[in-house]
Amino acid sequence: MTPREKSPGSSMADSGTDTRHDALSDERKGSATLADDEAREGGVNAWLTVLGAFLALFCTFGQLNSFGTFQSWYEEHQLKHLPASTISWIGSLQLWVFFFSGGFVGRSFDEYGPRILMAPGTVILVLSIMLTSISHEYYHYILCQGILFGLGVGMIFYPSLAAVSSHFRKYRATALGIAMAGSGLGGVVYPIMFRQLFSIVGFGWAVRISGFMTLALLGIALVLVSSQPASGSKHRPWFSLQTFKDTNFVLVVIASIFISLGLFIPYFYIVDYAIAHSVPQETAFYVLSIMNAGSIPGRLAPSFVSDSLGRFNLIIPCSFLSGILALALWTSARSFAAIILFSVLFGFFSGGFNALIVSCIAQISEPKEIGTRMGMLYTIISFPSMGGGPAAGALLGRDHGSYTGLIVLSGTTIVIGSILLLCARLKIDSKPSARV
């Protein structure tokens, strides 16, 4: 018998061997996958990354959330000759550039990791703050505080959160919620800090102090944030239409378009609303901080619970209740106590949406696509986020100072978005008891 000839018995033996080899190979693959999941579940570097992301979001999204303080200040000082809707374009551009940069920044993260993006992002962000401190014309604020600031925030925000996602699987929502709480805390500290410093040292030095603070905190974040590489993340096309064949992803994106149109309106206008309802100006500035304070437990509690009950199961009621609060409670809030109550509750539930949306995207995505998909989502919702503030300002002007149209726009769009999120959840699993 030649070496190439095999008897029937040997063929059967070889077949059995092949079967055993296949089974062993599958077992090894399964073990490797399990080991990979375990390697991505926590550890010292993972929790240091959470701390770094917390600091990064404190001085990026936290400052962005405090634009309502600048809106009211500009209306009384540098830009008092302009209508509120025109001034709000500064904050809207911040949001738009920040969100729009997500597609490029997210894909770059998948290719290169976080630090190569966060380092230049830190330079751009600090530069934008320093230039804002010496600005005095409307177009100065548009360029520095709107465009440059938004770009710097985007180059830090997305890599930080995507890096956290790369370290966790089972407790991803909890880890992301802790990191996102940094933006809520920043949203508390910055409005109070700015308001106090505006009076003590003047606008220019108040903004410069925040720039030095930002530089120090982001320097620490750069050292702490790291990521776990995902296999197959490199050498992929930067944009693929295949992503939009995923119905779950498309539904989440459409839902987020509606929600983002209305979600930021209260943050832009709650200070003006309080002043319009006889709250002293010095006190009204703190209402925005109170709203952001409510978002801190809103980012933590739903995120922690969602790791057990399901991310979609928590983000849907958080979104829906945000819209209902705007339609029911904000409309009737006339006293200072009622405005505070609305601010706390809206901050809590809107914070839940902001904290959980990244976890939901990660849940329906391959590890190698998390950064890209997260960036694509934010790029798409950049347009409604940009339009929400000016649209609300236009309604305020058309209604001669009445906030009813503005509030209806905010609440209705959020409710519609939450219903679309429910459709996505039912598409994933129609069982009410499923932990989706």
Rounded-to-integer distance, Cα 86 and Cα 342, Å: 26
Q: What is the pLDDT of residue 312?
A: 95
127: pLDDT strictly greater than 90: yes
Query: Is 215 within the bounds of a domain?
Result: yes
Residue 253's domain spans which residues?
44-228+242-428
Reference 346, options 329, 362, 334; nearest CA is 329
With contact defined as beta carbons under 8 Å apart, do 368 and 110 qualify? yes
**Mean pLDDT within 207-220:** 96
At 43, give phi and psi (nearest 5°). 110, 170
Query: Is 4 within the bounds of a domain?
Result: no
**Mean pLDDT within 377-387:** 86
Q: What is the pLDDT of residue 409?
A: 96
Rounded-to-integer distance, Cα 214 and Cα 38, Å: 34
Query: Is 436 within the bounds of a domain?
Result: no
246-261 pLDDT, tens digit each: 899 999 999 999 999 9
238: pLDDT strictly greater than 60: no
Query: Is 75 within the bounds of a domain?
Result: yes
**pLDDT band with cut points at 50, 70 and 90 for residue 431:** confident
Q: What is the pLDDT of residue 1?
A: 46
Query: Is 289 within the bounds of a domain?
Result: yes
Tracing tokens 């040292």 back to the chain, one arrives at: 201
Task: Of 42-56, 371-385, 411-425, give the lowest mean pLDDT range.
Answer: 371-385
Query: Is 9 within the bounds of a domain?
Result: no
**pLDDT band with cut points at 50, 70 and 90 for residue 6:** very low
Q: Which residues contact 45 (CB under 8 A, 6 or more apart)?
A: 167, 226
- Give the domain CATH number at 397: 1.20.1250.20
Query: Is 16 within the bounds of a domain?
Result: no
With contact defined as beta carbons under 8 Å apart, do 267 and 66 qualify? no
Query: Which two three-digit tokens encode residue 47?
Result: 């929790």
231: pLDDT strictly greater than 60: no
Whole-prediction pTM: 0.78
Query: Is 18 within the bounds of a domain?
Result: no
Q: What is the pLDDT of residue 240?
A: 64
Number of domains in the chain: 1
With contact defined as beta carbons under 8 Å apart, do 274 and 392 qualify? no
37: pLDDT strictly greater than 70: no
At 114, give phi and psi (nearest 5°). -80, -40
With contact defined as beta carbons under 8 Å apart, do 362 and 172 qualify? yes
Question: Sign of torsion, CA 155 254 412 392?
Answer: positive
170-180 pLDDT, tens digit each: 888 899 999 99
Q: Which residues contact 318 (CB under 8 A, 6 or more apart)?
A: 298, 302, 349, 350, 352, 353, 356
CA count, 13 A, side-chain hemisphere, 73: 22
229: pLDDT strictly greater than 80: no
241-298 pLDDT, tens digit each: 677 788 999 999 999 999 999 998 998 889 889 999 999 988 887 898 899 889 899 9
With contact defined as beta carbons under 8 Å apart, do 371 and 107 qualify? yes
In terms of pLDDT, which residue wins out, 404 or 65?
Answer: 404
Q: What is the pLDDT of residue 372?
A: 81
**pLDDT band with cut points at 50, 70 and 90 for residue 234:** low
